[in-house]
Amino acid sequence: MKILWINNDGGGYANDIDINEATTIAELFENKIPNAKASDYLIRVNRQPTSREYVLQAGDRVSCTPVKIEGARR
Amino acid sequence: MAPTPAYRIALVIHEHLTPQPSTIQCQELPDAAWSKCQSLRRQLHLAHSREWRLAARRLDRDYRSQLQAFADQMARLTSGLAHGATAGIATARGVYEDILSLHAEFDDVAWSKLQGTLCVTTEDIVLEGVALGRFQIQLDWRELPATCFRVIALDPNPAASNEDVTHPHVEHDSLCVGDARLPIQRALEQGRIADFFQIINSVLLTYNSGSPYVSLADWNGVSCSDCGDSVDSDGRYTCEKCEHCLCESCYRYCEACSCYFCCECVARCEGCEEDVCHCCQQSCKSCRDTFCPGCLEENLCDNCQQESTEAAALPASERTAGDSVGARATNADIAIHADRLGKVAVPA
């Protein structure tokens, strides 16, 4: 099934991706951003806060934004 | 049912996001930005050639910033030509849902159709124990899809050395987004308004000690290590050797290495009387006084060199005559000595 995956880390992009049925948010996160802690990100499903156990549905919009992003001087 | 105010705003924002082919073709080249770059470059060259160091630093900063602005405008222009379609851009409903979701993420959400702005207010921001207060993130949707926003301190606690710096990464209400530049650009190009505000909020909640306008350690002021006065960030110098902070009145400059020092780390050249740092200073091999490299020739100062030259220029006969006089005097001395003077009788 297809969902919209938005990753605001690094370059920042939004893509339609295929995932297996019954994939949870935790599984998707581990697959897409390996070696990262979920607590370092704001994860929203259809613009709402969610839980690790949430089972994704076709057409869901999942966004992932780092809690900390370094600014600069110029 | 009549559309809600939020939906009307979403429609306006969506309209700005959707490029019209005719407008893409007619977009003007960033001539003004380029002219400004050229002008700043000329001024910078002039400042360097006349050694106006403070002006050169300021111009250098402006020049870099203007170059970046020019590059951004060119990037938008080429991006617009390449992606002139609406693919990937949020629908008006998507923008509307984003606006609604902001209420759950931020304390206050407001917009002004007149000013073309959509604003959210952050929570109180405290970084490394420094309370910076709340900030209003103000997006100007009339400039969309270009990145145009301001970050305004609502309870400002600016840096002591620069009241325009209200956050380590905010100066003149402008946030230097650092690592967030691309995600912000993409979010705005695609109309992901909620993502845009969340990314900005994440930058405001993060302190990058490697590149702040004013470091949090110095937030409440830095004093000059020589005179003790408070030092403005623009007029701050650091001693190259001991790394002490110095004001514009106290810094010393070593011409030989083009570096700044404190008064403890330089000596006065006995020749030109300019400061010279301990690394560059040299001693005259004859008089042993301290000089800068420019005042010594073959390890001799001007005075010693002159003496040496004068001595070498004396005629040989004078030098010989002098020697003869000396010899005669010695003979005379010997002649007037009493017999056995200085001799000791040795017992048999």
Write out the CATH class of domain A2-66.
Answer: alpha beta
How many residues would you count in chain A?
74
Verify that B29 and B77 share a domain, yes or no. yes
Q: Which residues of A touch B88 (CB under 8 A)?
A: 14
> Would you give per-residue pLDDT tens digits along chain B (348 residues)?
556 888 888 888 888 887 666 555 556 788 888 999 999 999 999 999 988 888 888 899 889 888 888 888 887 777 666 555 555 788 888 899 999 999 988 989 999 888 889 999 999 999 999 999 999 999 998 877 777 899 999 999 999 878 899 999 999 999 998 888 889 988 988 889 999 999 999 999 999 988 888 888 888 877 788 888 877 666 778 899 988 888 888 899 999 899 999 988 999 999 899 999 999 999 998 899 999 998 988 888 888 888 888 888 776 655 555 444 444 444 444 444 444 545 555 554
Beta strands A2-7 and A61-66: pairing type? parallel
Per the structure, the count of domains in chain B is 3
Verify that B208 and B153 share a domain, yes or no. yes
Residue B280 structural domain: 237-303
SS percent in chain A: helix, strand, coil, step 5: 15, 35, 50
Q: Which ipTM was obtained for this model?
A: 0.92
Q: Which residues of B touch A44 (CB under 8 A)?
A: 101
**Is residue B117 domain-resident?**
yes
**Is residue B129 domain-resident?**
yes
User: How distant, in Å, are the alpha carbons of B87, B177, B189, B190, B330 from that of B182?
Assistant: 18, 9, 10, 12, 93
Verify that B79 and B64 share a domain, yes or no. yes
SS percent in chain B: helix, strand, coil, step 5: 45, 20, 40
Q: Which residues of B touch A6 (CB under 8 A)?
A: 192, 195
Q: Residues of chain B whose C-beta is under 8 A from some C-beta in A?
A: 61, 64-65, 68, 88, 97-98, 100-101, 104, 168-169, 175-180, 182-187, 190, 192, 194-195, 198-199, 202-206, 208, 210-213
A42 touches chain B (CB under 8 A): yes
Residue from B98, B179, B189 to probe the interface with A (highest A Cβ count within 10 Å) = B179
Verify that B139 and B112 share a domain, yes or no. yes
Burial class (CB in 10 A: 0-12, 13-18, 19+), B207: buried
Residue showing tokens 């295929």: A18
Verify that B70 and B104 share a domain, yes or no. no
| Subunit contact A14:B64, Cβ cutoff 8 A | no
